[in-house]
Amino acid sequence: MAQHPSPGDNGSVGTEQMYFDRELSWLAFNQRVLAEAENGQVPLLERCKFLAIVTGNLDEFFMIRVAGLKKQLDAGLESPSVAGFTTKQLLQRISQLVREMTDRQFKCYSEQLVPGLAVQGVEIVGAADLDEQERAKSHHFYEEVLYPILTPMAVDPSHPLPTLTNNALYLAVRMAVEHSRGLRGARLGVIQVPQVVGRYFELREPGRVRLLPMEQLVEMHLAELFAGHRILSVHPFRLTRDTDLDLDEEAGEDLLSVMEQGLANLPQQAAVRLNVAADMDDELLAMLWEHLDLSEDDLYRVQGPLDLKALWSLRDLAGFDSLRDPPAPPIRLAQLPKGEEMYEAIAQADIVLHHPYDSFEPVIDLVRTAAEDPAVLAIKQTLYRTSGQSPVIDALKRAAINGKHVTVLVELRARLDEERNIRWARQLEQVGADVIYGLVGLKTHCKALLIVRQEEKGVQRYVHLSTGNYNDATARLYTDIGIFTARKALAEDVSGLFNVITGYSVPPRWNLIEIAPTGLRRRMLHMIRREIELHSPATPGFIRAKVNAVTDAEIIDALYEASRAGVKIELLVRGICCLRPLVEGLSENITVRSVVGRYLEHSRIYHFHAGGREQVYISSADWMERNLDRRIESLVPVIDPQVRQRVLEILEAGLADNVKSWSLLSDGRYERYENGEPPFDSQKELYLRASRIAQQQTQAAPTPEEILKKARRRRKDAPTPRRRKGREAQ
């Protein structure tokens, strides 16, 4: 099997250790993403996307995880982690691995992607490569568009270095005043490269496009921006800051004001990394360095463009479809018609959607329909992350304007989405929705939608529960599972869940679901230990799970115990995995694989043998301490046989993948998974299956007239509705 080197092997920590370090395991995940950028079987513009993702992931890693480790070090917290690292050792190991990964990134960029794209007619060029006509076009763009935006800033005793924007791209300029007697004194100037105009200036010809990075276009005109000075050297740089909000949630009058104050302080938070061009001269670096509070370990010299996130924009480059993955438009199930017929369809049976293969539109349609439906009394929804122009938010605002009782939990502490969520919360409040900002000390991470409707037969509740966010943008990029249901027991549970979130209600005795932080950990441990108790040669137990991360030591220890008892455990873990598999006497019955492909694997599935009474769940929670103890999460049983079959097909497809799958070895390295079977790409196969399901439903689906006729017949046969008490209508 071809092996792929990974930082999952924790340095000097021997294989006898029980856990891998979570930070190094996270870096190992990004090594696997980087491998997709290096993979010659992937279309060129998709490879650019993967390289951009790695850069963005590393930015977030420094902003949150490295920043947190630095604060631990400053506080003197040096006790070894469960993987055996002190904080100082871990920071050193991270620095080493990130430098190695950065070198791989730019080798991939300069030796593979740039030449490969040029052959296909997409050239990334420098200022020196432009001909006279191209220079004229770029100069015109500079004068008409770019120049009015730019702000050249001098740095001297009377002009201190301004607060540098987190991860923005800047040019550092070393210059001297031109005087009749020669040059006088070296000075420092900085200028931010604006992102609002795009990262490349396009120069198009028939069948070809030449892309000039915007920082080079700015550099071409520095003499005009710093008139009267001789430019001695110029190089780009990026500064990364700590963006982890340390909030005293008990101190403010309300969570919103505390969050707004925390966000206001973010631009002033400590710097944790400085990226500079590898060839930046020592004089210029010294002039810049004296204004920054950084150590030598925080300096990263980069052999190439500093912000490879710019490559993400190439994915939408017009006219080069052959360099992208084949189109895979989301599929609309005939089982879910538009308009009020959706209620009838959901009332008949539970319905599952698997995004992005199945369209997210039915979720939006349900909220829009409810917003305009005179029979709808209330809409309740949790929102963790939403898109920039969210149709779900628009529908909720419309519902409130129409007089519906709208209750929305907007999680203000959704990391890196805080400002957007505050904006949505304010807009919803302005139209009369009841907006809850979350619970002190707990993030609300569960995904739930409840619609309460007055029908002839009485009050009916319609529910949507999901593993992913109500975000129409990420629903095209992330794999997630959502279930529509009108099942009474689940509807009662979701009503109780909202009462817990919005008030002082004591968690009820749940009919079917379980939530964190009150009982989900206990339920998970119970189900793992039950496999041990019920396991026998006649009825061998198994546990299968698809999650984003496995880091919780208590869960890992329980899985080790199950493995020692002979229970077979198969895990699909997209990202961080602190569990060490395949160790004799500890975890020889545990396998861990990771699928990294076209879509980000985000759905969470848990499958237990349970002595032959198999149980299947979807969840918003991973096996992480934060999910089990510090968030409101949901664990939802999959009851309908057809829905269960499809959910298990999703899990089994991931386990069968031998094209985009990696195996975690006992020493922490990942290798490409090969099983000798014909190639099986789970994401391609799941799209084909979704297409077949949609085709079968279209052939068998009743017409809208038949659906309405059946709905009228049900209303005619229903008993005369009586006035219900207020609690039942909630």
Q: What separation in angstroms does the CA of 549 have from each of 27, 180, 479, 601?
A: 13, 65, 15, 11
Q: Residue for token digits 């370090």? A: 21
Burial 230-256 (b: 16+ CB within 10 A, else e): beebbbbbbbbbbbbbebebeeeeebb
DSSP 110: I
Which DSSP symbol is given to 476? Answer: G
- The angle subtended at Cα 54 by Cα 328 and Cα 659, nearest 5°, is 50
- As a whole number of angstroms, the distance between CA 683 and CA 599 comes to 8
- Beta-sheet pairing, 600-601 with 478-485: parallel
Q: Cα(335)–Cα(346) distance, rounded to whole angstroms? A: 9
Q: Would you call 207 helix, strand, or coil by DSSP?
A: coil
Query: Which residues are catalytically annotated?
Result: 445
Evaluated on CA atoms 136, 140, 146, 151, the torsion sign reads positive
Structure tokens, 269: 């938070």
> Which value, to the nearest 10 degrees, does the dihedral of the CA atoms of residues 441, 444, 450, 452 take?
20
Non-local CB neighbours of 584 within 8 Å, separated by 6+ positions:
none
197 beta partners: none
Residue 15 φ/ψ, nearest 5 degrees: -70, -10
User: What φ, ψ does residue 499 adopt, rounded to 5°?
Assistant: -65, -35
For 277, half-sphere exposure in the C-beta direction (CA atoms, 13 angstrom radius) is 17
Q: Go through 351-372 and write b for each residue having 16 or more CB atoms within 10 A of its CB, e for each that does not.
A: bbbbbbbbbbbbbbbbbbbbbe
Beta strands 447-455; 376-383: pairing state: antiparallel
Sheet strands (E) in 356-504: 376-383, 405-410, 434-436, 443-444, 447-455, 458-466, 478-485
Q: Which residues contact 576 (CB under 8 A, 6 or more apart)?
A: 22, 25, 26, 29, 548, 549, 550, 551
Q: How far is CA 278 from CA 53, 68, 168, 585, in A?
A: 22, 27, 18, 48
Amino acid found at 187: R
For residues 346 and 449, the answer to whether their CB atoms sit within 8 Å is no
C-beta of residue 491 within 8 angstroms of C-beta of residue 415: no
